[in-house]
Amino acid sequence: MGQTDRARPLHVACIMDGNGRWARRRGLPRTAGHTAGEENLAEIVRIAAKRDVGWLTVFGFSTENWVRPKAEVRHILGLHRRLFGRIEELNEHNVRVQWIGRPFDEPGSRTPVAVQRAIRQAIADTAHNDGMTLTVAFDYGSRAELARAAALARRDGAAVSEGAVASHLYDPSMPDVDLLIRTSGESRISNFLLWQIAGTQVCFTERSWPDLDAAEFDAALALVGDGA
């Protein structure tokens, strides 16, 4: 699957599910599963950057995840700060960081200031890279994104058309998703990129996110290779 076979590089989106179940099967606390998941995300970023992947968008933390136990949420927040802090590694692989989610200065945003700083710093420190774009969806929900986009279109006096909604999404420059991967055997979309995945090839795998490896990732890529 070479880049010459496509009008543009692939956009792959991932719902990183199964960290808790991965830990439970090993008799470990859920936090250990999230730590393993963060480590595997770094590995998947390295793998994707070497493939014909132009955009990798991952569901880091949803608007619904705040109801999880406070200790678990604190651990996940710490892992995201660490993820956004992998600047040297991201630059080594020519990866540019982006973020989508409820804007920090708008009502309803719950992203802690420390995570906000880490996100802004990662975006700034990788802005010069022109390889793969890694977008982390944090404090993100697709219904909230679409409702906001429609409201902004109306505020600007535009008719609520497909074009108006698309131009007011969190990242209007993000291309449509070519492949959505969900791990851990769940066959759900979970309020993730509902606008951007119209017509997307979906791959549901039984493997938990910490166990997703290069072979499984390549098998998923092959699903869009022939028909793209």
Among 5, 65, 139, 218, which one carries the catalytic annotation? 65
Active site annotation includes 191: no
- DSSP strand pairing (133-140 vs 179-182): unpaired
CA distance 115 to 44: 22
Q: Quick one: how far is CA 147 from the chain centroid? A: 20
Instruction: Identify whether 17 is a catalytic site residue.
Output: yes
Q: Out of 17, 52, 139, 178, which one is annotated catalytic?
A: 17
Report, as residue numbers or ranges, the catalytic residues: 17, 65
